[in-house]
Structure 1
């Protein structure tokens, strides 16, 4: 903590009384963290504070996203096995993943309206409930003639995605401080990526490619019961523990947002303002292009690997795991970097260009015949392409403040789902006709378009401006107090800062 931070906490006035239900440990943290100080406000009504339980809220949400992310890819990563088991073709199994994108588009705006009207907790509860229900329906689909039962279960799990996918930015804004919001958003995204990683890793291990259909049904049923049990535990945890928001806002931007009377807020007007925000709309399209490419690569990874390396289903899952693990590291590094530098546009553009480079390298090395090369290039691709996810969320919040974080994130994800459907179906058709190289070049063209669009985004960081203006006014007030003869208390002298 700097001397300036401590001076704010000492000179700006007495600390607010502890919030109802807070623990002594939380009170101590509030006293020792400069950005939690009540003095970092424009007036006595703008106290701000951080609570240790914010990490518990983030953990529960991440667990919920992890369970849902696993549901998405548990079919496609062993698509050849499920195609034989359900006596259907690879395209039908692909639709078990594509349904996630298809469901999102018509439901995103109603769900974001619900988020604004009912709040974060209710949306997380509903998302967890749909995820749990879909998981249990899928336990009844472990039979050769039950493909449509599996599709019904996936449909419910895909509805859960609509509730959960856009929440990392909202949760980080409601619970986390100015210097940690981007990191928290990255960790929230990390939960879903961890689920995708497990979805790449576990199905090839739990469901071996055996010839006997009855034995295969046993392994599939086992996988479904494990995922349903985990989803149930997480749902119970959400019901019991998860909270809407802290008693006091974590930042001055959130304090200002809370000051807006509910009757002055119109969801429809908010959406229309976002649609008229040119920098944000450029980000919406460029984000959709990048993440849509990631969805296509993830969904069709098994087909691409098996085409060049027959019988390597297990390694296809491991390559997918490599993509996601590298991406998780990239997401975390990008989030920490944003918290330190606030260089939103520059970082987003650089990561976008490196995603394009990674995709080109992956495309031209896939057919070389060396699996270790594919592992390396896939890891590089995942590091940048998945690392881009939290950058898009946080950049959108900056460009659209004080609009709802859930609404801006929802529009980003809607774009990603639309392009995900187009790219997955399009790349699949191109692979069938001309091979994997042509399919991957198809994606590279759109990544280049997205990178160019990112370069044209005007970097209007509205949330940062709101926080900086609040800090500047606070500093002027402190300077005036010192000029009037108010001296720092003894605690300031004892710290020897």
Structure 2
């Protein structure tokens, strides 16, 4: 690609003669918030300046905020049944294993659907896929509204499946959205905030169901509680769908960074991208290590209610709150890690440090779970969640670095597909070990897997291709 890039006006028209001119006014610093108003007197104006022709728009924050809320509305339904597993089994008369599948269906549907979803994202852009995902999340939530009768659990499971299928238009979006809308000095932070939305939803999914659906009460009272919970979620997802339909945009009128500009100009072939990714040594190692880390978190989250009640009978709300503090701590860790990456660009070192700390956190959680003081379990959960959830955006960004200029949606899509496979396998293994060899050995097995993941991460070479592209530009 020629180093002299064509600049673009606010209406997206290319000025062929603009290789010597810049789109920013002379007094505008690089990446300053600029709002271009189509049809204004400034539209199409080019001015000689020394600054780079890349700028960001204030719209990016609204786009990111809408995505965060949309992502949260989907992920909050992930543990909607499992965190109150004892109530669901008693009310609907179904097995605990079937309730666990309401969580695992998120993982199962993701694997086959992520490839067409990634292809659609690369072809149609962020707006179309986000609208589809928001619509599916809304429809699935409304199906659950009609599943309150005790013989209608199958309909609730169907609604959960529709919501789970919609997840394929969410998990792989944060690095893509960050790259399309944010400048090079904010892209990691934006990605971490995008992941923050998913974690916010998981946190709400841990805490709200035990608060709304009472573990004790008559069948009629429990049914009324389910009705309130389902209507609440359906109402929120409906409002978000309308907002996304009205305000969510696919991309800004001008690229925010050199890497985004060069990446958007490449004619990417989806199958060719997959082939390149699968022959990228660093990416394959990251797939394994990332899958182990997030798979462990999925296993713990799915069976947290069972794990806590094993040592603290009757602590239904505490199980939800422990999940909440674990995720909230991870949300803080995600944002902090994003800021660190933007400031230092030390992707390999940050990834390795956070991964190793996750393993340490899991060891602490393992040996404090049965201490008899539930407050200690809260503290160990904070430590575990801070690093394990904080690792999510770090892994995303490291993957984008070592695979550039392959589309971020494809890169993160495959990453999450592997996560779902690991999540299913580790959840089934963890569930079996909890009943067969008790929790201590089950948790120690997860600790060993995190240690293995740390060693694999150490073997990844810091081939930061996106940073190199920015520096070259």
Gaps in structure 2 of 5+ consecutive residues? 14-22, 35-48
Residues 239 and 363 (structure 1), Cα distance of their counterparts in 2 relative to 1, 3 Å cut:
same
Which one of the candidate residues 331, 335, 339 is aligned to 2:342? 339
1:20 Cα deviation (Å)? 7.2
Q: Provide the rounded CA distance (Å) in 2 between the counterparts of 1:213 and 1:193.
A: 32
Corresponding position of 1:32: 28
**1:189-204 superposed matches below 5 A:** 189-204=195-210
Q: Are 1:437 and 2:443 matched, yes or no? A: no
Q: Deviations over 1:177-228 (max 9, x none)?
A: 1111000000000011001111111111100112411111110011000000
Q: What secondary structure is seen at the aligned counterpart in 2 of 1:397?
A: helix
Alignment check: 8 A CA contact 1:64 1:128 kept: yes
Counterpart in the other structure of 1:477: none
Task: Report how far residue 445 of structure 1 moved.
Answer: 1.5
**Conserved in 2, the CA contact under 8 Å of 1:37 and 1:48?**
no
Q: Corresponding residue for 2:38?
A: none
Structure 1 residue runs of 5 or longer lacking an equivalent are 1-11, 22-26, 471-497
What's the counterpart of residue 290 of structure 1?
293
| 2:460 partner SS | coil
Q: Separation in 1 of the partners of 2:425 and 2:471?
A: 41
CA RMSD of aligned residues (A): 2.2
Report the counterpart of residue 483 of structure 1 in structure 2: none
> Counterparts in 2 of 1:155-194, with a 5 A limit?
155-194=161-200
Partner Cα distance (1:35, 1:88) in 2: 55
Partner of 2:414: 411
Query: Which of 261, 265, 270 is the aligned partner of 1:267?
Result: 270
Question: Match for residue 430 of structure 2?
Answer: 427
Whole-angstrom distance in 2 between the partners of 1:231 and 1:33? 39
The separation in 1 between residues aligned to 2:142 and 2:424, in whole angstroms, is 26
- Residue correspondence of structure 1 range 63-142 to structure 2 within 5 A: 63-142=69-148
Q: Is the 8 A contact 2:24 2:53 kept in 1?
A: no
- Match in the other structure for 1:305: 308
Determine helix, strand or coil for the equivalent of 1:73. coil
Report the counterpart of residue 276 of structure 1 in structure 2: 279
C-alpha distance after superposition, 1:159-190 (max 9, x if no partner): 11111111000000000011110000000000
1:145 aligns with 2:141: no
Matched, 1:213 2:219: yes
**Secondary structure of 2:146's aligned partner:** helix
Structure 1 residue 442: deviation in Å?
Answer: 1.7
Give, in whole Å, the separation in 1 of the partners of 2:312 and 2:456: 36
Q: Give the drift of 1:34.
A: 2.0
1:300, 1:172 → 2: CA distance?
32
Flag the 1:30–1:92 CA change in 2: closer, same or farther, 3 A. Answer: farther
Aligned to 1:248: 254
Distance 1:379 1:398, change over 3 A: same
For 2:254 and 2:12, how far apart are their aligned partners in 1? 10
The offset of 1:18, in angstroms, is: 4.7
Counterpart-to-counterpart distance in 2, 1:96 and 1:301 = 14
Instruction: Tell me the equivalent position of 1:488.
Output: none
Match in the other structure for 1:481: none
Tell me if structure 2 keeps the 8 A contact 1:60–1:242. yes
Counterpart position of 1:391: 394
Total equivalences in the alignment: 446
The answer for the alignment partner of 1:459 in structure 2 is 462
Return the alpha-carbon distance in structure 2 between the equivalents of residues 393 and 460 of structure 1.
15
Measured at CA, do residues 228 and 454 of structure 1 come closer, stay the same or move farther in structure 2, by a change above 3 Å?
A: same
- 1:8-45 per-residue CA deviation (whole Å, 9 max, x = no partner) reads xxxx99x9755579xxxxx999953324599xxxx99x
Runs of 4+ in structure 1 deviating by more than 4 angstroms, as ranges, are 15-21, 27-31
Q: How big is the shift at 1:47?
A: 2.8
The structure whose Rg is larger is 1
Task: Give yes or no for contact 1:289–1:416 (8 Å, CA) kept in 2.
Answer: yes
Report the Cα distance in structure 1 between the residues aligned to 2:235 and 2:97, rounded to whole angstroms.
Answer: 29
**TM-score, with structure 2 as normaliser:** 0.91
Give the TM-score of the pair, scaled to structure 1.
0.87
CA contact under 8 A between 1:253 and 1:463: conserved in structure 2? yes
**Displacement after TM superposition at 1:238 (Å):** 0.6
Render the CA deviation track for 1:36-90: whole Å, top value 9, x for unaligned. 599xxxx99x831100010000000001000001111111111111111110121
- The 8 Å contact of residues 8 and 254 in structure 2, kept in 1 or not, is answered as no
1:244 shift after superposition: 0.3
What is the rounded CA distance, in whole Å, between the counterparts of 2:234 and 2:426 in structure 1? 30
Equivalent-residue separation in structure 2 for 1:290 and 1:30 (angstroms) = 47
More helix by share: 1
Change in 2 beyond 3 A, CA 1:277/1:28: closer
Distance 2:163 2:118 in 1: 17
Residue 52 (str. 1) matches residue 55 (str. 2): no
Secondary structure in 2 matching 1:34 = coil
Q: Within 1, Cα distance between the matches of 2:138 and 2:31?
A: 38
